[in-house]
Structures are given as C-alpha cells and as structure tokens.
Chain A
Amino acid sequence: MIRKCLRIAGLAAVIVAAVLLLIAALYVSAHAQQPAPASAEVKVDNFSFGPGTLTVAAGTTVTWTNRDDIPHTVVSTDGVFKSKVLDTDDKFSFTFTRAGTYPYFCSIHPKMTGKVVVQ
C-alpha cells in the first residue's frame, strides 16, 4: 500500500513538473513574441532628434534626453504632449497608449522636427 502510494505520488510529481514546464514554455514563448520592451530613447544632439522617426508598440514610454549645450523642448505638433524646457542632460518622457503617428518639434528651434510612430 505504501509502495503504491509512493508510485502514484511519484507519477503525480512528474505530471505536475511536466505541466509546470509546459506553462513556463508557453509563458516564455508568448512574451518572446512581444514586439519591444516598453521603453525607448530619443537623443537630442547637435540640434536634431535621433532617431528622427521612432517606431514603437502601443504602451511604450519614450524618453528624450537633451545632450546639447543649448536648451530644447519636445512639443507635439498636434498638442498631444509638451515638455518643459530641457537644459543639458534633462529628460522628458511620454507614454504612447494609442496607435498613430505623432509628429513633434522643438518649439525654440522649430527646424528641429521628429516623429513617433505607434503600432
């Protein structure tokens, strides 16, 4: 009786382990298919945004960092987001929740333009 119980317990343990492995494998594969981590960077350098066009998944938080000796801003052309003035090394972040194309510019140096494409 004890031996039978042990056999059943051993079998159950194997099954549980197999199920756990399967769940883990499914979990990993599901997450591996996510397009990108939920954050992205834009550098402001030499009076330009890099990359000029950034493509991200919905839900991504984009962070701009000003690496120039001159202050800049990040202002959505359509009024969706607007940073305060960013001095050297200052950052501005915005989370894009909806798909679409978001053009933006530096309101101090309007020749500086860029866009974020959210898929």
Chain B
Amino acid sequence: MVENTKDELLHDHNHDGIDRRGFLKCMAWAGTGALCVMQGGVLKSYSLSQMSRLDGKPAMGELSFVQISDSHMGFNKAANPDVVGTLKAAVDKINGLATTPEFMLHTGDISHLSKPEEFDTVDQILKGATPRDVFFVPGEHDMLNDDGKQYLERYGKGAKGAGWYSFDTKGVRFIGLVNVLNLKAGGLGTLGLEQLQWMKNDVKHLKHSTPIVVFAHIPLWSVYPDWGWGTDDSGQALAYLKKFGSVTVLNGHIHQTMQKVEGNVTFHTAASTAFPQPQPGKADSPGPMKVPAEQLKSLLGITHVDCVRGQHALAVVDSTLG
C-alpha cells in the first residue's frame, strides 16, 4: 500500500488480502460522502472534498446510473412526516447531477405498507426523474400480506421466481435479487435454493472480465446480525462471483451509507429517501431515528454509480439531500 496524501489512498489488490487501514478510512467517510474508484485492480478512495482532483473524469464514465432506496411511501411518523417531499427532493438531486444517469435502481421498501396508493405515489414521483427506466427489487415492506403478488404484478414482469432477474447494459451485468421472502424465525434475509441455482447458471458463461453489479434490499454482507442486517445464504451467492474481477454489491434496508471492500467485491448500502436509522447497536432498536428537522435531509440521500469499461473503474458516490 502506498499512502501518498492524507486524503488519497492507493490499495494494491493484486494479493487477496484486505487492506484494513484503507478499508477503515473508507468506512470513516461513509455517511459524509465517499468516492471509491477501482482502476486496473487498484482501488482509489477520495473524500468528496477531494473530488475536484479527479477533474470530473470518473464521473464521465461509459455507464452512469443512480441508486435510490427505502422510500417508505405511506410512512407518516415523527421521523419524517413528509416522505413525499423527501422523495421529490431525491428526484431533484438526480435531475441536477452533472452526468445524466441512464437509469435508476430502487433497492426496495418502495412502500411502507404495500398499499396500492403508496406504490402509485412513488411511480408518479419517479416519472419526474430524467432517467426514464427504474429497475426495482422488493423490500420486506413491499411484500406484506400477499407474499409479493402485488409487487410482482407491478414490477416483476419478465422476472423469475419471487422477482429476481438480470440484464446487460454496456457490457455490465446487473443482477437483481430478492432476499425478503420466506424469512425464518430467528434468521436473517434469505435468497433460497431456487434463486441461488438460477444465479449460478446466470453467471456461469460470463467472462471473468465482465463487471458485475448485484443489487438487493437487505445487505448481502453481515452488517449487524443482531438487528437482522445480513443475509443467511449470501456467502453462497458471493461464491459464484469469485471469478470476476469487479463485483459491486448495492443494498438498502439499513437507511445509512456504509461501505466495505473485500477482495474483488465492493459492498455498499444506500441512504433512505424517507428516514434515517441508528448506527448498528447505537440504539435500543433499529427503528426510525428522530433528528431535528433541519438535520433530516443531511441523513437522507441518493447514490450515483459510474462504470468505466476497459479500466475496470467503478465509482460509487453518495450525496445527501441537504
């Protein structure tokens, strides 16, 4: 590892070990905004204040998209009585990005109570975003009472099983997974054998150089199992991705940004557009965190991702709503 300035780190990923010092530094930036760029097997991390050094180049990649998460339409408690307003603010933020994203990913908990009118409201607000296409995966709040029947009718056309699917854009393979159904007492998120088998076959014939982006609601890494922030069988899914040089895993569910780099895999969780949740173990429960009204938007946000083909470059940038 070479540390050339206080704010810029270079990590040698030719070996398989994790650069713990760099990882911790990257973690420290999470929540205030961080940019991690992988170029030719070297991970570079910048704080947002250092982004001017990049001259905008990583932000001008061949493929640019945005992730939003946890809109919880219908939520009206003290932690945010106006989830419509904050989702609209997220759309404004997306429309104001220097590079127009090609599409949006929504990593679940679109609605708060799976009510048709909640989904309708989100759909209507997202129509105001510059990117026309939105790719969804469900959160547990989107599959209440009917095991996901309504969700599948609305968002699952062409999807397999409970709503999982994959697609290619500009040589990048996107894999949307469902880990919020058939949860077992005492357990975490679950993918299940049928989905794992599908995923294994889905990536089998891809070249090792294909950049992979996996997105699902509950984190696919063990963030904080005591609060259910992890997925029981994610290890099996990640094993299928070991051969790939560039894997990015995007999740929601925990209503805060967090990042971890492990070998070839970058894990990232997005902020909510609705309300923040406490840091792991820092409260009695993971319930909605009430903050002074003027602070709320600084804890909500969107995530902007750039993939630069040929350079194995991938940049993940979080921006808050205020």
User: A residues bordering B, Cβ < 8 Å?
Assistant: 46-48, 68-71, 73, 77, 84-85, 87-88, 103-105, 107-111, 113
Contacts and interface: CB of A to CB of B under 8 A. Distances in A.
B113 A87 contact: yes
Given A47-B286, A87-B113, 14 more contacts: A46-B284, A48-B285, A69-B78, A70-B288, A104-B185, A108-B144, A108-B183, A109-B228, A110-B185, A110-B188, A110-B228, A111-B227, A111-B228, A113-B185
Interface string B212-230: 0000000000000111100
Nearest to A78: B185
Interface in B136-162: 140-141, 144-145
B290 to A, nearest CB: 9
A109 B284 CA distance: 15
Contacts, number: 57
B248 interface: no
B141 A108 contact: yes
B287 A69 contact: yes
Which range holds the interface residue count of chain B? 20 to 34
A27 B20 CA distance: 74
8 A-B pairs with least C-beta separation: A105-B185, A47-B285, A46-B285, A110-B183, A85-B144, A69-B77, A111-B228, A46-B284
A111 B288 CA distance: 17
A57 B20 CA distance: 56
Contacts of B144: 71, 73, 85, 108
Interface string B183-205: 11111100000000000000000
Interface string B115-155: 00000000000000000000000001100110000000000
Nearest to B181: A107
A73 B227 CA distance: 16
Contacts of B285: 46-48, 68
